Every structure is written in C-alpha cells, then in structure tokens.
Amino acid sequence: MTTPHPFENLTPSFIQDAIESLGYLCDGRVFGLNSYENRVYQIGIDESEPMIAKFYRPNRWSREQILEEHQFCFELIAQELPVVAPLIREGESLFTYGDFMFALFPRKGGHAPELDNMDNLFTLGRMLGRIHTIGASQPFIHRPEIDIASYGHESVQLISEQFIPAELKTSYDTLTTDLLRLMEENWQICEPINRIRVHGDCHIGNMLWRDDAPHFVDFDDARMAPAIQDIWMLLSGERESQQAQLLEIIEGYSEFCDFNPAQLRLTETLRTLRIMNYAAWIARRWEDPAFPHNFPWFNSVRYWSEHILELREQLFALQEAPLQLYN
C-alpha cells in the first residue's frame, strides 16, 4: 500500500481547525491557491476580511530557517517597504498544528508588473536597492546560500543517476560537465563575492503591482546570494533589450545601494543554475501527487531532450561577454 503524502492530510476541516486553534472563526470558505512547494489557501473569516494561510512543506525548512524568512520580512516592513509579511498573533508568526508549521498573511490584490515599461523597471530597481541595503546589514545564520554545489552539482547528480533516459545520458553528462566547469570559472573570477540576504525568487509572479508600486510576496526561497540574483530575472528579450532594462534597473537601484558591476558576469551562471535546480526540484517532488498532475510532461524523453537543448544554449551564453553598465 502506498503511503499517503503528508499534504493529503490538509483537508478543509483540518485547515479550518488549524486556523481556529489561533482564535479565529472560519466561515467555511477555503480556496486553494497556486502553490506547489507549500500549500497556500485563502480562508474566509467570519465578519472579517479573508486571510491567506501557508502550510509549509514538511522537512524542507527548519523552524529556525522559516523564522529567519519572517524576520527578514519584518525588517523590511519596519523600513516601510511594500512586502507582504506574516501576521503576528500573540507575539508569534509561525504556528504548529498536527504535523504542519503554518503562517498567516493578509490578503493583498494586484497584478504582475509590466517589465517592458521602463518606469516600472526603475521603480523595481529602487525597491530592490532598498531591500538589499537591509539584506546586507546582517547575514542569514540558518538559511543556506545559492551556490554551484547545491543548485548545480547536486541537481546534475540526481538527474543523471535517476531520471535522464539512457539514450540521452551521455549527452547530458558531457554537457553538464562542461557547464559546471564554466560556471565555476566564472564564479572564481568574481570572487570575493559579497553575498547578502536576497528574495531569491524575484520573478513577476512574486510581485503584486498596486498603488503604483510593486509589493513583494513569498520570501520562501530567500537565501544568501549575490545581489544580481534578484536583478537578472527582471531581464528579458534580446541582448539589446536586456542592456536597456539593466541600465534602468541599476539607475533606480543605485539611489539606495551600490551595485558591483563585476557581478554581471554571474548572470548566465545563475540562470543556468536555476534551470538545473528547477528540473531537480520537480524530480525531488515527484512523489507529491500534485507534481505528476501539474507537470505531466515532466520525465518524458521529449522533456529531457528540450532540457538538454536549453542547457546547450546556456553553454553558448556562458561564453559571451556579460552585459555592461554603460549608456
């Protein structure tokens, strides 16, 4: 008999019992929101605004690591930055019910920012500059770094040993060996790299544009990393477009925080690590029923062929000159 996945215990009644254990009165409305790593729900509260409940994936982060995420958010809120931070109940922001740790958040509306709008990019740059100024004020103690070892080598080893089809294994192993070597060379050239607390997953899905400003949400992937980690994901299109976007972002960023242009060499390294880690992330979660359901194309020969093609494109990108800070 297959052992049920822990998330299968998150029934509507369990979720409402968890919320009501904190003294709230649920009105019976429980709506699942788009989240795979954790489970996130909008919960109706009797005679009050709905709230968002986030149930953390068991055995992913320790209590200390989650609280570091929360503390970072509280530091940002204290400086009047537009982030969606956990709610505090009787002095606590992280709660336990059954086998789950969970947190509550206010419900906020908004839409994704328009990254082809230069004014938006300038505003995003200013916000990231403020976030990174606070992120650089002290390190995470319990949360790990974004590095080539965990995002690169460990991801490649998992895929190579357990997931890549036999007919593609030689191509994958040869390609990833070259990629890892190039990334390590790029990383070494940039040392010493100033690692700070960053959002870590700074794409448009984790921003809500409202009141003419971005509101940053979901710091679940916050780690120690170079500042460029929160910048490169805002760049898109051909090189000329990315160059213009970068200049706009850094112009706003530099109003609050100095940016080391040497980190631009890490852009394609970090992009490659994200691609590798994303594939490994799905692989590690494949026993979670939500993953085969939502990623039915994963683990097919076609998927791995396209994955290898994407990595091959990164091999060329890693050998190109990085973007520059010039007009």
CA 96 – CA 63 distance, rounded (Å): 10
Is 218 annotated in a binding site? The answer is yes
Say which DSSP state 151 is in. Answer: I
Question: What is the per-residue pLDDT for 169?
Answer: 97
**Does residue 169 come out as left (phi exceeding 0), alpha (psi in the -120 to 50 range) or beta?**
alpha
**46 tagged catalytic:** no
How far is residue 271 from each of residues 20, 67, 196, 275, measured CA to CA in Å?
A: 42, 28, 18, 6
pLDDT for 160? 97
Identify whether 116 is a catalytic site residue.
Answer: no
Beta-carbon-side half-sphere exposure of residue 141 (alpha carbons within 13 Å): 5
Which of 132, 278, 117 minimizes the C-alpha distance to 197?
A: 132
Choosing from 116, 147, 218, 221, which is the catalytic residue? 218
Q: What is the pLDDT of residue 179?
A: 98
C-alpha to C-alpha distance for 318 and 264, rounded to whole angstroms: 11
pTM (2 d.p.): 0.94
Question: Is 147 among the annotated ligand-binding positions?
Answer: no
Q: Distance between CA 161 and CA 158 in Å, rounded?
A: 5
Q: Are the beta carbons of 45 and 27 closer than 8 angstroms?
A: yes
Q: Do residues 197 and 72 lie in contact, with contact meaning Cβ atoms separated by under 8 Å?
A: yes
pLDDT for 327 equals 56
- Estimate to the nearest angstrom the gap between the alpha carbon of 32 and the chain centroid: 20
- Please identify which of the residues 119, 147, 173, 201 carries the catalytic annotation: 201
The pLDDT of residue 116? 87
**Of residues 142, 131, 130, the one with CA closest to residue 65:** 142
Per-residue pLDDT of the chain (327 residues; tens, 9 = 90+): 567 889 999 999 999 999 999 999 999 999 999 889 999 999 999 999 999 999 999 999 999 999 999 999 999 999 999 999 999 999 999 999 999 999 999 998 888 888 889 999 999 999 999 999 999 999 999 999 999 999 999 999 999 999 999 999 999 999 999 999 999 999 999 989 999 999 999 998 899 998 888 899 999 999 999 999 999 999 999 999 999 999 999 999 999 999 999 999 999 999 999 999 999 999 999 999 999 999 999 989 999 999 999 999 999 999 999 999 875
